Amino acid sequence: MNKQYELDNGWIVKQEGDNPPILYVTPIANTVFKKKIKVEIDETVFKDIVFGERSTKELFKKYKLHTIIIEQGSIKVKPISISKNSSNTYYGKDFILTIENDKFFIEYQLSIQGGGSRKFEINHEVYLEAIKGNYTTFGLFKKYNLHHLDTPENDVK
């Protein structure tokens, strides 16, 4: 059975049969969403849409949907900085790790209009996993359940 839903900004979410649900992103002026792309979304996100959530703002806030779109859709976002790794700084796929006063921090580019970045403290285990180079920000958030730290209070001014 095919299911299709329209979000408040005109984006379409479809699920055909037993295939994973797909979000069809169309361009939005003055945002990072500048091209048409298809993004596979999680069943949890899809269930929320099925049960009536159509606000992209709420889906972005609740599920970090913008991060998934950027990661899967290869939307190019201006990097935070370009430099070489050092003993106190590691440049990952889409994040920067730093060691400051024996504490570990992750910083990453925000996918909001006007840009900006977010930075917060992580533990040593997350740091060690991240410097292996196998994860994106989204992957680290998923593996270590860091979503509760992804808040505006941690925006870099």
Question: Per-residue confidence at 64, pLDDT binned at 50, 70, 90?
Answer: confident
pLDDT digits (tens, 9 = 90+) for 115-143: 678 899 999 999 998 888 888 888 888 89
User: CA-to-CA distance for 151 and 119, rounded, in angstroms?
Assistant: 9
Burial pattern 3-23, b for ≥16 Cβ within 10 A else e, equals eebebeeebebebeeeeebbb
User: CA-to-CA distance for 3 and 21, rounded, in angstroms?
Assistant: 9
Question: Per-residue confidence at 84, pLDDT binned at 50, 70, 90?
Answer: low
pLDDT digits (tens, 9 = 90+) for 2-50: 899 999 989 999 998 888 899 888 887 777 777 788 888 888 889 999 9
Residue 41: burial class (beta carbons within 10 Å; 0-12, 13-18, 19+): buried
150 residue type, one letter = D
Instruction: Name which residue leads in pLDDT, 96 or 113.
Output: 96
Among candidates 94, 77, 82, 107, which has minimal Cα distance to 138?
94
pTM of the model: 0.47
